[in-house]
Amino acid sequence: MNILITGAAGFIGGFLTKWALAEGAHVLGIGLTEPEDGLAGASFERCDVRDAEALSRLVAEFRPDRVFHLAAQSFPTVSLAQPRETMEINANGTINLFESLRAAGIAPVVVVACSSAEYGLVRAENLPVREDHPLRPLHPYGVSKVAQDLLALQYFANYQLPAIRVRIFNTTGPSKVGDVCSDLARRVVEIESGRRPPVLQAGNLTTRRALVDVRDMVAALWLAAEAGEPGEVYNVGGSQIYSVQEIIDAIRRQSGVEFAVEQDPRLMRACDEPVIAGDTTKFRLRTQWKPSIPLGQTLNDMLAWWRARLTGDAPIGSGS
């Protein structure tokens, strides 16, 4: 089976590539940069999804049986500073992918990595949010993911390309860089090693997120391709909701190091959703998937990854 993964050098893409290889697939990953650990066994091509000609050539040559479309500018804060680039990558890149499939005359299953950011601010009485809830994104990243989501739907409706949309909720794990869990774990490891004083700086301590481990997420993406219904959309995310303060407390237990917590206004976002949690019933009923990795294991693996990273040793458990 030929599997194309856009964004293969990214966080989820790296873990998904390893999963696909373990399943015996022939994998072609594309991205802007080479994967850090090489992803032995997979082929990799540098390709920007905004480059329609290059993408179309690769698709025509490889002729994938399945596509996992993960390539994206995925940081809300970056999207506020770079809205045009975010839309070009996420929306136009999706158009380029589907047009390349049409030009090649093939119709593989395409799993499109959409986002919980599409929902925006959701009232407490509507949580956990269902797939039929109105989409009211709060930043250009969320808007770009709504565009990507609906583009996938219209390519299914108009051209019968079997797209399956997965709205991914907060996903973390070893080798993740740039999310709250990762940033907190890195700072605690720096406190452990004496690189910084025993004061942990954090943003809003009361925001709450349903967290899922990346290894559970890639299992879900694989199941989406195998059992998802083309044209449908599914929420996929964690079943337990944690505040930032609860995450800090869990990291403290895993580390054992003592530190004070200090809120830093620079780490707070004006458009931060108070709670992000999705109702995953639809996906679970369709695929029988459920998360299996507890938060304690996820955080322990993240701390171990950062310890190896900051001491210069080879990263462990890396997916990117």
Give the residue extent of every domain in the chain.
2-171+212-236, 172-209+240-274+293-310
Does CATH number 3.40.50.720 belong to domain 2-171+212-236? Answer: yes
Average pLDDT over residues 48-77: 97
Closest CA to 55 of 68, 43, 42, 46: 46
Q: Contact, 208 vs 240, CB < 8 A?
A: no
CA atoms within 13 A on the CB side of 157: 7
Q: Who has greater pLDDT, 77 or 65?
A: 65
What pLDDT is recorded for position 269? Answer: 66
Decide if pLDDT at 316 tops 80.
no
264 band by pLDDT with thresholds 50, 70 and 90: confident
Does CATH number 3.90.25.10 belong to domain 172-209+240-274+293-310? Answer: yes
State pTM to two decimals.
0.93
pLDDT digits (tens, 9 = 90+) for 71-97: 999 999 899 999 999 999 999 999 999
Percent of the chain with pLDDT over 70: 95
**Other Cβ atoms within 10 Å of 52 Cβ, number:** 17
CA atoms within 13 A on the CB side of 266: 1
User: Encoding tokens for residue 307?
Assistant: 């310890």
Decide if pLDDT at 200 tops 60.
yes
Q: What distance in Å separates the CA atoms of residue 286 and residue 187, rounded to the nearest whole number?
A: 40
Decide if pLDDT at 262 tops 80.
yes
Average pLDDT over residues 55-81: 96
315 band by pLDDT with thresholds 50, 70 and 90: very low
Strands 241-243 and 208-210: antiparallel
Placement of tokens 């403290």 in the chain: 252
CA atoms within 13 A on the CB side of 259: 28
What pLDDT is recorded for position 38? Answer: 67
Closest CA to 143 of 83, 207, 98, 99: 83
User: Encoding tokens for residue 191?
Assistant: 């406190």
pLDDT digits (tens, 9 = 90+) for 115-169: 999 999 999 999 999 999 999 999 999 999 999 999 999 999 999 999 999 999 9
